[in-house]
Amino acid sequence: MRINKYISETGICSRREADQWIEQGRVTINQQPATLGSKVAVGDEVRVDDKLIGDKPPAIYIALNKPVGITCTTEAHIKDNIVDFVGHPQCIFPIGRLDKDSEGLILLTNDGDVVNEILRVENAHEKEYIVTVDKPLTNAFLNGMRNGVRILDTVTQRCKVTQVDNLTFNIVLTQGLNRQIRRMCAALDYRVVRLQRVRIMHIEIGNLKKGQWRNLTQKEVAKLVPPLESSALHKKL
């Protein structure tokens, strides 16, 4: 098994983070520095920062209604980081990001394979948001958001946009550009006042109160994990 997959399956980070740790020289296999191409065999001793890591723990999948002000990072030295905020007894990390000044649904897990599959651009998983802006909506603005806006040297993909009231709209994205909604609105001369994510794929925020988290239900996990396993199998074939 490749070293990054081995590390992610222990639940301490994603494969992407594991690659970074390997490049930083923080990982050893049998007391020898690991490289990105290293493989782990049965009986090998793998350490991160000289701490032994072992068997994969039970999978954890939770949904958090993130408040404004919490940063989606596993870096312990960053104030108000999401891991400390949740305070879960097991080592978990967020799937993707939600800006510090945004709120709403974010998933956390110890399953690195799920993280990698959900974040793959080609999988185009839906994420739904409710957005309030600083001035009345117009048809020109709504159509512009739907049809694509030039930001970050590209044009955003077409998306679903529905007006909620004079200042608020609902938007469903399959892209994940940096601060995408805020940049789209700014390009059309609007400023976001409030941005809340309410759905990721089939998982909805529902009645989850701000700052609270819950374990995903068996039904939610069943719909989340099998498609990802099937996707991975298909790629191997």
Residues annotated as part of the active site? 99
Place of tokens 């700014």: 186
Strand ordering across the sheet containing 27-29: 32-33, 27-29, 46-48, 51-52
Q: Calculate the alpha carbon distances from 159 to 138, 150, 156, 171 in Å.
A: 17, 14, 9, 7
Helix runs in the chain, H state only: 3-9, 15-23, 82-86, 112-119, 139-147, 180-187, 218-236
How far is the first Cα of the chain from the last one, in angstroms, to the nearest whole number?
17
